[in-house]
């Protein structure tokens, strides 16, 4: 069974600082990878996704993530965070399981950006 680890539970940054959130997964086969964002009091929204091809994927609001297959990692990055990026971020792995979709989420990282 697949699993997802997010190493940072709570990150505090000042505006304009660079961001990198770690995500590692365990699954031996082909996976699809996602980052979702949950702004305070809201539902989860898709930030970006990786299916195949270029391992560096760009998402909305200046976020990007790099898939490194040899490290089973899919870290999320942003060069310069804004106060509006304050949210909880979830990494997710989507892999075949008995022919159907099995989505496994990490435990989430809360990002607090200080103005």
- 24 SS3 class: strand
28 binds another protein (CB under 8 A): no
Query: What is the distance between the alpha carbons of residues 95 and 89, in angstroms, rounded to a whole number?
Result: 20
What is the end-to-end Cα distance of the chain in Å, rounded?
Answer: 41
45 binds another protein (CB under 8 A): yes
44 binds another protein (CB under 8 A): yes
Pairing of strands 109-114, 24-26: unpaired
Minimum Å distance from CB 16 to another protein? 29
- Cβ atoms of 109 and 9 within 8 Å: the answer is yes
Query: What is the distance between the alpha carbons of residues 6 and 91, in angstroms, rounded to a whole number?
Result: 7
Minimum Å distance from CB 38 to another protein? 9
Q: Which of residues 61-100 bind another protein (CB under 8 A)?
A: 90, 92, 94-96, 100
Nearer to another protein, 38 or 73 (CB): 38
Give me the residues that bind another protein (CB under 8 A), please: 6, 9, 31-32, 34, 36, 42-46, 49, 51, 90, 92, 94-96, 100-103, 105-108
């Amino acid at each position: 069974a697949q699993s997802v680890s997010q190493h940072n539970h709570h990150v505090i940054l000042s505006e304009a600082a660079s961001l990198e959130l770690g995500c590692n997964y365990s699954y031996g086969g082909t996976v699809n990878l996602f980052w979702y964002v949950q702004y305070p009091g809201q539902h989860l929204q898709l930030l970006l996704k990786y299916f195949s091809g270029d391992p560096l994927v760009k998402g909305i609001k200046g976020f990007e993530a790099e898939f490194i297959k040899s490290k089973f990692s899919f870290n999320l990055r942003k060069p310069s965070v804004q106060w509006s990026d304050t949210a909880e971020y979830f990494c997710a792995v989507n892999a075949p399981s008995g022919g159907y979709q099995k989505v496994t989420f990490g435990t989430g990282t809360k990002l607090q950006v200080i103005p």
